Structure 1
Amino acid sequence: MSSTRKPKLIKNPQDFKKQYLSETGQISCDFGQARTQNFFEVMPLEKLKTFHKEHPFSATRRSFYTLVLVTRGKVKETIGFKSYEFGANTLYFVPENQLHTIEHWSNDVKGYHVIFDADYFLLCLRHQVKLNHYPFFQPDNDLFMKVSETEADAIIELFEKMSFEYSQRKSINDDLLVRLYLNILLIEIERIYRHKKQTEQSGIPKSQQLVTQYRKMVAEHYLSKRQVSDYAALLYVTPHYLNDTVKAVTGKPASEFIYEVLITEAKSLLIQTQHTVTQIAGELNYADQSYFCRFFKKQTGKSPQEFRRKHMHNS
């Protein structure tokens, strides 16, 4: 196995085209425009499928956000450590810089595919609302949701309006309505997402809310903050109180959730890349490879090399 192959960094639409699309045919959108920031692309999935390369893809990290609505057919993708198969009336989300692999799109797939970077989104807003504040772009949350026919119709209408305005632009900068529709689309999706979560989580006690906040913070800061006391300070509680609350709600000590996020990212890198164990340890901010290997084996029962070999044997 090569040790030099890394997840391909997809920085802009041109990188996206080279990675995923065939060279034959013409695509009537701006994948050919030399924009490296403030960019946006929207396209029906069935049209994107027409130009889709028919071979397995290597893992990528996209330096932008991806939002996909599947209305027909099936899509199989790996996002982070988890593999998903999405069917009709499913929205799924790929946050910025998330490890991501496209496995397969069925021939009858239909829907919409949108990519955009943070700068594009912010340009049309008075406040700098961060995209990672949307719950569906937070890696510790569900990165997909099923929607009803009524909800799907409302979302499709916004996609179609946004796509129409995008096609009517006289220049790549003539897109105010596109930006506004993107903003409305994200707000509408957030409302549906939060409503579904509130329905699922109605009556949640404060202790559970604290645990939820803690887990979100761990997912955001695990590379730089490894101590429960770090998160207790962020949550304005004592480490003892945080640990007791987490253990009472989940049955596990608070530190276990830090370890789980680290192990999940390590597994993702072992499965989706050909990085050496030394490289992976470095990416996870472990200065000592041997310490990382001991940590990984303690948590999983296998060394990183054994875990990788077992996954390759089973895949």
Structure 2
Amino acid sequence: MAKAAIPTYDICSLVMGKPTQEEVVIARFPDYLAAHSHIQFPHRHSFYHLALFTSGGGTHTIDFERFPVKAGQLYFMVPGQVHGWYFEGPTEGYVINVSAGFFTGFLKDPDYVERFPFLSGVAAEGVITVNNQAMADIQPLLEGMLQEVNSDRPYNLDMLRVLMLEMFIRVSRSTQAGPVKQEMLHNNLLLRNFRKLVEQHYMQQRLPKDYAAMLYVTPNYLNAFCQHMLGKSAGEVIRDRVLLEAKRLLVNADTPISNIAYQLNFADNSYFTKFFRKYAGVTPEEFRKNIV
């Protein structure tokens, strides 16, 4: 049987209980799974998706990278990432779904939330093992969110925003050793801007020099910067984004591979197949057959 295209869920389709929860959904993991058992297979979200496991086993995948489910694991996903769950036994914890615009009218800086490193959209950067101290700080905030999301008290949405931002800050602090230097702030800003440009232009622009020009730096500087920050060149960052989109498109078995090659701006199907096999280790056809 052919696999269908990866479904995309918006936050309204996953509302639990109150109709007002169209911008934010917060639930205990067992309740969420019981209400939405159909979404364990690969799917996308049009919103931010966060989960904290307090117990459980199995695996979950984010953009085709597999991670073990274990107590103390917290993961963050940005809109558009592909996700699936494969649990073994009961799983406890919390789920938060929050719309991309939930903080826009509340914060003067609309890009504030994107500054947290775990909201970069890179799968490995969004999966964090929370230490005991951070867990002790974070779990009461999640319990507070559960109370607010189910209440009719005044300013409950604003309180949710405050609690959520406090959680983001505490998680970010738990993953950083010592004070953040001005140089690191500058580096994080440049990296974030480069990734945003890649996200916007990777279909057409494949050369580091094009992005270097948009960032007002030299190609050599951009490459050295990416090596320093990520351990890979700027060209590899661009290539990885193209490869990820190819994998996402290949999930839909009804789309001919030649169409995917054209959509990704490859000269022909042969060139696309060589590119994919070189960097994914398998042909597009083999990858498609092996998708779980």
Q: TM-score, normalised by structure 2?
A: 0.79
Shift of 1:144: 1.4
Corresponding residue SS for 1:6: coil
Contact 2:103 2:110 in 1 (8 A): no
Match of 1:146 in 2: 129
Contact 2:74 2:128 in 1 (8 A): yes
1:193 aligns with 2:153: no
Distance 1:43 1:301, change over 3 A: closer
Corresponding residue SS for 2:217: coil
User: How many residue pairs align between the two structures?
Assistant: 289
Shift of 1:257: 2.9
Q: Residue 118 of structure 1: which of 100, 103, 114 is its match?
A: 100
Corresponding residue SS for 1:233: helix
1:45 counterpart letter in structure 2: F
Contact 2:194 2:215 in 1 (8 A): no
Shift of 1:56: 8.0
Distance 1:218 1:256, change over 3 A: farther
Aligned mates of 2:279, 2:237 — CA distance in 1: 12
Match of 2:212 in 1: 232
Distance 1:304 1:92, change over 3 A: same
Contact 2:120 2:192 in 1 (8 A): no
Could you list the per-position Cα deviations for residues 84-142 of structure 1 after superposition, in whole angstroms to 9, with x for gaps in the alignment?
122111211121111112222631x2111111212233233344245434321212361
Corresponding residue SS for 1:124: coil
Identity among equivalent positions (%) equals: 28
Corresponding residue SS for 1:152: helix
Shift of 1:247: 6.3
Contact 2:145 2:163 in 1 (8 A): no
Contact 2:78 2:121 in 1 (8 A): yes
> Structure 2: where are the runs of 5+ without partners?
none
> Structure 1: where are the runs of 5+ without partners?
18-26
Q: Residue 68 of structure 1: which of 48, 51, 70 is its match?
A: 51
1:84 counterpart letter in structure 2: F
Q: TM-score, normalised by structure 1?
A: 0.74
Distance 1:139 1:279, change over 3 A: farther
Distance 1:75 1:133, change over 3 A: farther
Aligned mates of 1:129, 1:210 — CA distance in 2: 11
Corresponding residue SS for 1:193: helix
Match of 1:20 in 2: none
Contact 1:226 1:258 in 2 (8 A): yes
Shift of 1:77: 1.6
Point out the more displaced range, 220-229 or 284-293. Answer: 284-293
Could you list the per-position Cα deviations for residues 178-221 of structure 1 after superposition, in whole angstroms to 9, with x for gaps in the alignment?
3333343234323432552446x99x999x87995687356534
1:2 aligns with 2:5: no
Match of 1:276 in 2: 256
Corresponding residue SS for 1:69: strand
Distance 1:103 1:215, change over 3 A: farther
Aligned mates of 1:45, 1:288 — CA distance in 2: 45
Contact 1:80 1:265 in 2 (8 A): no
Distance 1:183 1:269, change over 3 A: farther
Aligned mates of 1:253, 1:66 — CA distance in 2: 29
1:6 counterpart letter in structure 2: A
Contact 1:62 1:97 in 2 (8 A): yes
